[in-house]
Amino acid sequence: MFKKILIANRGEIACRIIRTARAMGINTVAVYSEADANSNHVAQADQSICIGAPPSAESYLKADAIIKAAKSTGAEAIHPGFGFLSENAGFVEAVEKAGLIFIGPGAEAIKLMGDKITSKSLAIKAGVSVVPGTDGAVGDVEAAAKAAEKIGYPVMIKASAGGGGKGMRIAENAKTLREAMPQAQNEARASFGDDRVFIEKFITEPRHIEIQILGDQHGNIVYLGERECSLQRRHQKVFEEAPSPFLSAKTRDAMGKQAVALAKAVGYHSAGTVEFIVGKDEDFYFLEMNTRLQVEHPVTELVYNVDLVEWMFRIANNEKLPFKQRAIKPKGWAIEVRLYAEDPARGFLPAIGQLARYSAPSGDGIRVDSGVHEGGEISIYYDPMIAKLIGYGKTRADACARLGAGLDAYVIEGLAHNRQFLRHVLGQKDFAKGNFTTNFIAEKYPEGYRAAAPDDANLCAKMRALAVLMLAEYSDRMALISGGEGETQFTLKDEAGAATAIWHRTTQAVEIDGKRIEIKGNFNRHNRLFEGTMNGEATVMQCRHHAAKVEIMAGAHRLEVHILPERLKHLQELMPATETGSGAAEIRAPMPGLLTKILVKTGDKIRAGDDVAVIEAMKMENLLKADEGGIVAEILAEAGEVIAADQPLIRLKDEA
């Protein structure tokens, strides 16, 4: 086995690879950009070496710098992780030419499967079901429109060299196709250096299900069940689970056999994934093959009790697989969510910033794969994923319960994130029943998600009671209220209205409008996490205290409670129940990013919904539309400028 490997990646996947390498007694070398000098993967590796500036093109995509780092540190092999150079056949060839071992599939398999057009042709020859579409790339909009008419709308425009949702657009008709195709081509060019796209039929009521395969260099290939990846947003997976709550054993077996047949057709070795789109009648079609480790690999590892990274090492070291297909059986259920730095209340736009507080949960049936730490930053340069949280149990209900508990106890502060959105999805009845498609999030959350007060009066009362207790204990410690062993009365106001609360100092109970709530448990003042019971029921809530305002988060709900001691109740008119916007006639950046284009000029008359600018963030091109109409009075930023969230870009004036 290798004595030392280099990891050509960053963040959580680099940390994940280091974990297995350390368990196997393999030393690791981390590479990092200047932006990642204080990152977890750098601290955890045995050695580290800086390879360039923050932009990926100047660091993690510099094959020559990575190979030079491997040679200079005495590494024998390179693991690419996922993303970056993981599916770059030229990189594999360069690694092998340098006398190093690539921990992954061969260059030829990557080349064949990395091109969606070629892979589709090979899939047909291997007897794999494919989605109707163009035979090759389409170079102009008119040719694409003709092809789409023949295939039948809706159609999907897909980057030939794509992956990770980049360069993909859905067109419902010829008009939207003409708008979407240039955007898909621009994204493809920016992400992959290849703007070729092709057209295929878009399946309605689709589910996205993938088969995990593992092959050695001796011709042995097996599949380790499937992963359900249908819950997506903008073609990016958000929830993943194994096994699928939808698939029958018969369909699972058929998909697995087709995945193995395709892998054999290209002489595949290492870990890989064959992705399918599945219709409501379980008819399935090949989408693509990912010639790398997948982000969602932990759910397979938990259900099949296998370390996929370990087997990537062993296969690269020319070992044979010991597994027989008939002996591979799932055990239990695992569900993964991706915690992103993004703002669900603003259409899930990406966010950046410092993790002012960060504490991951732990316990039976909970796994966290992360590459961040408290005080670290989520930057504009890379994917905004904070961590992956996985719940595992004997049944799907067990996995959901553990995942929910993990989300409730996951403390993330300092930037916008999707923790409570994920918690809300987990609580949806359709999700609990396994009744969803790839359209689930778009249909259920068309305007995004904003955590609000619960409809459940009992839960609302508990949240209010904890808010009162937090403020009362703080005020007592600071001698802001009278001491002794008696009671203290408070006036509170929140979304649910106004109320009177009484805090019983000796018992820590709180009465709200006559309803008594007994509170017992521990409050972690650093993480501001309460874990205990309320009226005997297990309770986990997160608390934020700001002077006379206490913010309580319970599950997917949020309640902002304004509280004053009774002796100061004359000030309650200063306690606002809701916040109001600025109302300024400005068009602001909804996210941080690179302002690539301004589509209007001073004096232009625009209407609500008009395109006004293009912002590139996390390699995605985002079209900014006007929220209101008016005359463009002033352009406040220039193309090529790096902008912050909420930065004013265009000032409007009313029409004369």
Across the chain, which has 656 residues, the per-10-residue mean pLDDT values are: 97 98 98 96 98 94 97 98 95 98 97 88 94 86 93 90 80 94 90 87 90 97 97 91 96 97 97 94 92 97 98 98 94 98 88 91 97 93 94 98 98 95 97 94 93 93 94 71 72 89 90 93 90 96 88 96 72 43 65 87 88 78 82 92 86 80
Rounded to a whole number of angstroms, the CA Rg of the chain reads 27
Residues found in the chain? 656
pLDDT at 626: 85
pLDDT at 567: 61
Total-model pTM: 0.82
CA torsion through residues 242, 247, 248, 249, sign? negative
Q: What are phi and psi of 306, to 5 degrees?
A: -140, 140
pLDDT at 620: 66
Helix (H) or strand (E) holding 401: helix 396-408
Neighbouring CB atoms inside 10 A of 186's CB total: 16
> Nearest CA to 562 among 581, 543, 540, 546?
546
pLDDT at 582: 34
Pairwise CA distance, residues 270 & 104, whole Å: 5
Residue 339 β-bridge partners: 387
Cβ partners under 8 Å of residue 510, min gap 6: 464, 465, 466, 468, 469, 472, 501, 502, 503, 504, 516, 517, 519
The string over 404-437, giving b where at least 16 C-beta atoms fall within 10 Å of a residue's C-beta and e elsewhere, is: bbbbbbbbbbbbbbbbbbbbbbbeeeebeeeebb
Identify whether 288 is a catalytic site residue: yes
Distance of CA 82 to the CA centre of its chain: 14
Q: In which region does residue 363 sit, left (phi positive, over 0), alpha (psi from -120 to 50) or beta (all else)?
A: left
Cβ partners under 8 Å of residue 131, min gap 6: 200, 201, 203, 277, 285, 286, 287
pLDDT at 478: 57
pLDDT at 117: 79
Asked whether 369 and 298 are in contact (CB, 8 A), the reply is: yes
pLDDT at 549: 87
Q: Map tokens 């259900």 to a residue.
A: 303
563 by Cβ neighbours in 10 Å (0-12 / 13-18 / 19+) ranks as buried
Asked whether 410 and 419 are in contact (CB, 8 A), the reply is: yes
Asked whether 493 and 562 are in contact (CB, 8 A), the reply is: yes
Neighbouring CB atoms inside 10 A of 306's CB total: 18
Helix (H) or strand (E) holding 577: none
The single residue of 200, 241, 288, 621 carrying the catalytic annotation is 288
Pairwise CA distance, residues 414 & 407, whole Å: 17
